[in-house]
A and B are shown apart, each in its own frame.
Chain A
Amino acid sequence: MTFGPCCDVAWGIHRDVTLSDGALLIDRRGLETLFQALGSQGYTVIAPTVRDGAIVYDEVDGIEELPAGVTDIQQPGSYRLSTRDDGALFGYAVGPHSWKKYLFRSEAVVFRARLDAERGFVPSEAGEPAATRYAFVGVRACEVAAIEVQDRVFLEGSHRERDYESRRDGAFVIAVQCGEPGGTCFCVSMHTGPRAESGFDLALTELVDAQLHEFVVEVGSARGGAIMASVPSRPAQSRDLGAARAVSDRAASRMGRTMESDGLPQRLAELLEHPQWDDVASRCLSCTNCTLVCPTCFCSSVEDTTDLTGTEAIRTRRWDSCFTLDHSYIHGGSVRASTRDQYRQWLTHKLSTWVDQFGTSGCVGCGRCITWCPVGIDLTAEVAALLAPAD
């Protein structure tokens, strides 16, 4: 196994923080027009919205469904909504869902097959390609990075995930530059945020105070530029760009957590027998939540079922996790039969062997696994404990 000579190479990240020339400025009405333009171009608009006490990603009809004046308070194992008095539309961090919900669906039919007397089971119908073209609004820098990680997994290897590909291809990405990092965020440590520099069609920075409510719009693609032609805007002035930069700087200085990432892949690979794995295993429930909320985790199981007559078969792909026993089941038993082995597999894959496999870390620092772990296990704390010098 090889690691790059310098951490930036090993982590595959190089970000040059400049706000692009040609940025535009729109107000709330402009944002409304942008939503309408996406709708009239045939996109299904998915955006943050409040449901069941959380900010989730769901289909919305207009900007009135965005979480205006809502924010979140996140800690290990805890997520609560709160209010903010500035009426910001994007004044919160990432929630329980990620865009994986739409790109790498939790359940998808791979194909159906019918029993033929001579030829055995013959595929009768491939899984349906996405009929929907999505516009994702409010994609954070860590999420842009996560989508790029999944692209590497699903599109760049020798086998392409067709369902993912059909959904990813047409997707229009509107990033939002973070202003309000959550209590479990650590994108700065992972060099994935808080600013997205590429990987979007448009990127918004929300500028909101008592007098104004505007958005600096960076254009990241030709189709992003084309859609902005139908939205009333004016060129952003250097004052606006400065304000936008200040939003990102402030976010960068208020990260909820940090993680030591220098040389981490190699250092973890040497700690496979550390007693900390037993410690975390005493708390971990093997419930899978960390993996299923993670925007880069891609494990799935493929299940074949037949109807009662045994003539119709369906192959279904479902989200799975390294925390289930079936996931590592081979003839004779599960390879990772203990919670210790499962957690160690998860953490070392994310932060170490992922680099060998795909050239970047499997963690983008979004903090979801920390917030949505029912017992509040915090991978940044686990890493710190693993790396701490023995006393």
Chain B
Amino acid sequence: MNTPEVPRKPSIAVWKFASCDGCQLTLLDCEDDLLAVAGEVELAYFLEAGRASVGGPYDLSIVEGSITTAGDAARIREVRAMSKRLVTIGACATAGGIQALRNFGDVKEFLAIVYAQPQFISTLTDSTPIAAHVPVDFELRGCPITKTQLLEVIGAFLHGRRPNVSPHSVCVECKRAGNVCVTVAHGTPCLGPVTQAGCGALCPSYNRGCYGCFGPMENPNLPSMVQTLRYQGVDDGGVIRMLRTFNAGAPPFRDASEAIEAEARGSEA
């Protein structure tokens, strides 16, 4: 008897580097949708969901976390080598994460303060995004990522199309939601105009300013944003703190915060 050939389901692996696991948790959080995902793909490697692990190669690798050690810098090359497509998820993997704050300081000094025996710690001086080490097919932003966007990226991968993930500002989502702008109506500092959409304007919907969790939008004008924050009464230290959170290492945010420091040094000199 001829059994019809069952097409092999695409295999997906989920990898973790320096990160908090929150983005991987988003996949588990997909609940009912996760069953649909499980029906369409073979979750070949996903330690957070179970032990069963299948060796590569994989059709799609989903990578969370940044590169902070020499070991991880080597491991991400192996992951890339055994993956047809590689998608990075979250602020750590796409911008270096909150741990990229080390990039602005002296890691040796941090180690001496934090660890009793710093000689046992082997770490790189910078926290860098995955794309600084290997080619990446798509970067999904957010701290954490948004579940619907993750499903959209997986769906787009399965059907060979471009993900519908918009790189425009948070303000677009804020206005679509019908929110009253917190900056204009309350004078609340908000990073929405320079931040990429994806969260559904979560914070402005609760009358808070945007914290910039999704990193810089497509063509951010940081000098003008910084001027506006100052005009709203945020001092330079405050502006630097706003820019140095989960996406501190993203080049436009990084450059803007460093420019403020350079300006301060210039006026001291």
Contacts and interface: CB of A to CB of B under 8 A. Distances in A.
Interface of A: 51-54, 56, 77-80, 96-97, 101, 106-107, 282-289, 292-293, 303-310, 318-321, 323-326, 337-339, 371-375
Contact of B185 (A54, A107, A320): A54
Please list the 9 inter-chain residue pairs (A to B) with the smallest Cβ-Cβ separation, ordered nearest first.
A287-B193, A292-B175, A106-B176, A285-B193, A324-B168, A52-B180, A287-B171, A54-B180, A287-B169
Contact of B176 (A51, A54, A286, A318): A318
Contacts of A339: 219, 221
Interface string B2-39: 00000000000000000000000000000001001101
Interface string B209-234: 00000000111110111011000000
B155 A305 contact: yes
A288 B171 contact: yes
A287 B220 CA distance: 9
B190 interface: yes
Given A80-B185, A324-B168, A326-B166, A310 B180 contact: no
Contacts of A373: 184
A79 B185 contact: yes
B51 interface: no
A326 B168 contact: yes
State the main secondary structure of chain B at its contact with A. Answer: helix
Nearest to A374: B183
Contact of A308 (B151, B193, B224): B151
Interface string B175-217: 1111111011111001011100000000000010000000001
A372 B217 CA distance: 19
Nearest to A342: B219
Contacts of B179: 52
Contacts of A283: 221, 224
Which of A289, A304, A308 gathers most chain B CB within 10 Å? A308
B215 to A, nearest CB: 15
A51 B179 CA distance: 10
B265 interface: no
A325 B168 contact: yes
Contact of A310 (B159, B172, B176, B218): B159
Given A53-B185, A339-B219, A374-B190, A305 B152 contact: yes
Contacts of B186: 53
Contact of B40 (A106, A293, A309, A374): A309
A284 B220 CA distance: 10
13 contacts: A79-B185, A285-B194, A286-B221, A287-B171, A288-B172, A307-B36, A308-B36, A308-B39, A321-B168, A324-B172, A326-B166, A371-B184, A374-B183
Interface centre among B175, B179, B207 (most CB of A within 10 A): B175
Contacts of B183: 77, 374
Interface in B132-172: 151-152, 154-155, 158-159, 164, 166-169, 171-172
Contact of A285 (B36, B151, B224): B224
Interface of B: 33, 36-37, 39-40, 151-152, 154-155, 158-159, 164, 166-169, 171-172, 175-181, 183-187, 190, 192-194, 207, 217-221, 223-225, 227-228
Contacts of A308: 33, 36-37, 39-40, 151, 154-155, 158
Contacts of A79: 181, 184-185
Contact of A288 (B158, B169, B221): B169
The dominant DSSP class at the A interface is loop
Given A288-B171, A292-B171, A307 B155 contact: yes
A315 to B, nearest CB: 11
Contacts of A307: 36, 155
Contacts of B217: 286
Contacts of B167: 325-326
A307 B158 CA distance: 10
Contacts of B176: 106-107, 292, 318-319
A52 B206 CA distance: 10
A375 B228 contact: yes
Contacts of B219: 286, 325, 337-339
A106 B179 CA distance: 12
Contact of B228 (A305, A325, A374): A374
A374 to B, nearest CB: 5
Contacts of A52: 179-180, 185, 207
A20 B160 CA distance: 63
A285 B180 contact: no
A326 B63 CA distance: 26
A372 B186 CA distance: 12
Contacts of A318: 176
Contacts of A305: 152, 155, 164
Given A78-B187, A375-B228, 17 more contacts: A53-B185, A285-B221, A287-B169, A287-B193, A287-B194, A288-B171, A292-B171, A292-B176, A304-B164, A305-B152, A307-B155, A308-B39, A308-B154, A325-B218, A371-B184, A374-B184, A374-B193
B175 A319 contact: yes
B169 A106 contact: no
A304 to B, nearest CB: 8
Contacts of A106: 175-178
